[in-house]
Structure 1
Amino acid sequence: MTTDRVTRRLAAILAIDMVGYSRHMEADETGTISRQRTHRQELIDPILHEHHGRIVKTTGDGLLVEFVSVVDALESAVRIQRAIAKAEASLPKERRMQYRAGINLGDIVIDGDDIFGDGVNLAARLEGLADPGGISITASVFEQVVGKLDLAFDDMGEREVKNIRKPVRVYQVRLEIMPENRSASPRGVPEASGKPSIAVLPFQDMSPEMDHEYFADGIAEDIITELSRNHAFFVTARNSSFTYKGKAVDVKKTAGELGVRYLLEGSVRKGGKRIRITAQLIDAATSNHVWAERYDRELNDIFAVQDEITASIVGVVAPELIGAEMQRARRALCASSEIRRSGA
């Protein structure tokens, strides 16, 4: 007895679809087809080719694309959305073409040049959950890309998806091209604007008696308040960052969930009449420490110590944060110049 063996593989699947295709066709069939063809030839297909995407199938208004790399899948989707937005920007809003995109990383079934399975179906369902001009991804995609690309994400929670048995955790990529009426982030994180962003996590009480939690919380809260006075960067609200209190923190994942690039974390430890406070500023994209310091103080006046330590930390973190961003910008500029020289 013989049975046909099903061929499977793990792949990143991008589903992309035009918003309001029927409306555009009804208003201007010839013009819609022409602009869509231009989008494909000049923007979409070259970007997919550059990121090694294989177009599996096309419909009148969409594409299904397979990638070996999930980073390539997301980066190509981001570039496509930005390129389309730029190309359509000069047109009246009602005439602009927009696309929704969904990306899933999952097991797929291979049949010749075609692909099937829940991994494919979920990508198509995610596309429908995205805002016009937006990108929705699954948790499996988020876990692989967070910290690898200079992007922020909004956790949209678990969603019921048609024909998928279990609820699916969905994230939306935060893009500056998103419409003004897009749904707000559940955590209330400010929209990306090019400013560096930081979250101050709750400081850990590492005292033997664990009786200085109020002091640790006070330090973190005061740092948030003082950093927020500096309009050169965004500071995540206390209500968002304090949801991680008492939890083991994965730097890249936490930064992605909060939509920031930098994390400030620390600890408090008391011994006798002395107290030790440590603080570390971390670049979540690389997991490298930008700055770290230890403060030892006599605990005679707890509020005076709290004020002094807060002022010391803020006084160092603000310029360190700006300096780190300047160095990152220089590296990006050097890399861009090198690419241009090598392509010349």
Structure 2
Amino acid sequence: MAFDTESPTLQELLRLQDELSAALQRRFGQTLAVCVTDVVGSVEYFRRFGDVAGRALQQRHFDLVQEAIGAHGGRLVDTAGDGAFFVFPDAPSAAEALSAIQRAASAQNLARPREHHLTLRGGLHWGFVLTDGVSVAGDSVNLCARVAGSGKEEGLAEAELRLTRAAYLELPPALRMRCRALPAAHLKGVEPPVTLVALEWEDEATFPTSVRCEETGRVWTLPRRDLLGFGRIAEHEGVKANDVVLEAASPEATSMISRWHFELRRGTTGFALRALSDARTEVNGVTVGKGCEVPLPLGARVVVARTLSLVFVSPREGIAGTRMP
């Protein structure tokens, strides 16, 4: 029977609205871990390689999501463009699934050229939603999408997982120890600024996060990518040449460093260094020939062309204020 919307008074309609809202929340309201992931740089990838390659990249993303949510008890809600939206009954399972997705993407990238690497960003929020078991809606969904995209707004073009404080507080101590605080984020349509943390999915005792030059004291934060280039030039024919541009104290010394000197490849158990140049490269006192590859442990010292000494470290562990309280 159709409801008569013309006869009731304003007060009666307002009361009915409140009753319907309460009924919706009682029947369909749940608190869930909401996750959103998307592909970094997908627009440029489609432009360079075409629709078929771009769609294949998206499918790799969706396949990894399906595998992870199946293993951790989640549910895929929707995919649109290069993004995926999925939920879990608890935040720890969601955090582990997001970490598994990133590790799986990294493992796949080992067998592919750099330009075809799959780089993902993700967001996680713990909050109230309305769901009928199929669709999921509410402010929590919108907030999570903003969190996942916040790195893009900041110009961050690397893999990262960002969590709201509400999600962080649902994590056990072991997972909290893998989080580091980020500056408060000004998200579009969200007030006030949102407290966020980044979840590390790799073991910082295995993977260095920064490199320090002993001669100049300069420190570079290593981008979260699966292939990192080191050399003396920043660009070549309008394309980024190296992730870390090496410069010595003088132009003469810098010229001894090759344009592309060495690269780091991210493996399942740590980085490996591959020498790209005939110019000398040493790892912990051992010379690495051009085309050869050696493990790069945390704390390794790399000497470049007998000019620069680079030490690979994980300084986050000792920096006050980087861990959430």
Q: TM-score when scaled to structure 2?
A: 0.53
The 8 Å contact of residues 85 and 133 in structure 1, kept in 2 or not, is answered as no
Structure 2 residue 70 is matched with structure 1 residue 49: yes
Structure richer in helix, relative to its length = 1
> Counterpart in 1 of 2:134?
113
Tell me the distance in 2 between the aligned counterparts of 1:92 and 1:28: 16
Give matches, 1:1-344, under 5 Å: 2-3=16-17, 4=20, 5-7=23-25, 8-26=29-47, 27-41=49-63, 43-110=64-131, 113-130=134-151, 131=156, 132-149=158-175, 152-176=178-202, 180-181=222-223, 236-237=317-318, 240=320, 256-257=323-324
Tell me the distance in 2 between the aligned counterparts of 1:171 and 1:194: 24
Cα offset, 1:153, TM superposition: 1.5
Letter in 1 for 2:223: N
Cα offset, 1:120, TM superposition: 0.9
The 8 Å contact of residues 37 and 148 in structure 2, kept in 1 or not, is answered as yes
Cα offset, 1:111, TM superposition: 5.5
Matched residues, number: 198
The 8 Å contact of residues 14 and 123 in structure 1, kept in 2 or not, is answered as yes
Letter in 2 for 1:56: V
Cα offset, 1:89, TM superposition: 2.5
Tell me the distance in 1 between the aligned counterparts of 2:178 and 2:101: 17
Q: 2:95 is paired with a residue of what secondary structure? A: helix
Letter in 1 for 2:95: L
Cα deviation digits, residues 129-174 of structure 1 (max 9, x gap) = 2452210001111122141438521101322211112221100012
Decide whether aligned partners of structure 1 residues 181 and 39 sit closer, same or farther in structure 2, where only a CA change above 3 A counts: closer
Q: 1:149 is paired with a residue of what secondary structure? A: helix
Tell me the distance in 1 between the aligned counterparts of 2:81 and 2:314: 43
Cα deviation digits, residues 274-294 of structure 1 (max 9, x gap) = xxxxxxxxxxxxxxxxxxxxx
Decide whether aligned partners of structure 1 residues 145 and 81 sit closer, same or farther in structure 2, where only a CA change above 3 A counts: same
Tell me the distance in 1 between the aligned counterparts of 2:145 and 2:76: 14
Cα deviation digits, residues 59-118 of structure 1 (max 9, x gap) = 020111111010010000000011011102232323212111000001112366222222
Identity of aligned pairs, percent?
A: 23
Tell me the distance in 2 between the aligned counterparts of 1:90 and 1:233: 26
Letter in 1 for 2:107: K
Runs of 5+ unmatched residues, structure 1: 183-192, 196-231, 244-253, 259-344
Tell me the distance in 2 between the aligned counterparts of 1:235 and 1:160: 24
The 8 Å contact of residues 151 and 174 in structure 1, kept in 2 or not, is answered as no
Cα offset, 1:233, TM superposition: 10
Q: 1:91 is paired with a residue of what secondary structure? A: coil
Q: 2:66 is paired with a residue of what secondary structure? A: helix
Q: CA RMSD in A?
A: 3.3
Tell me the distance in 1 between the aligned counterparts of 2:75 and 2:90: 11
Letter in 2 for 1:92: P
Decide whether aligned partners of structure 1 residues 235 and 25 sit closer, same or farther in structure 2, where only a CA change above 3 A counts: closer
Letter in 1 for 2:188: K
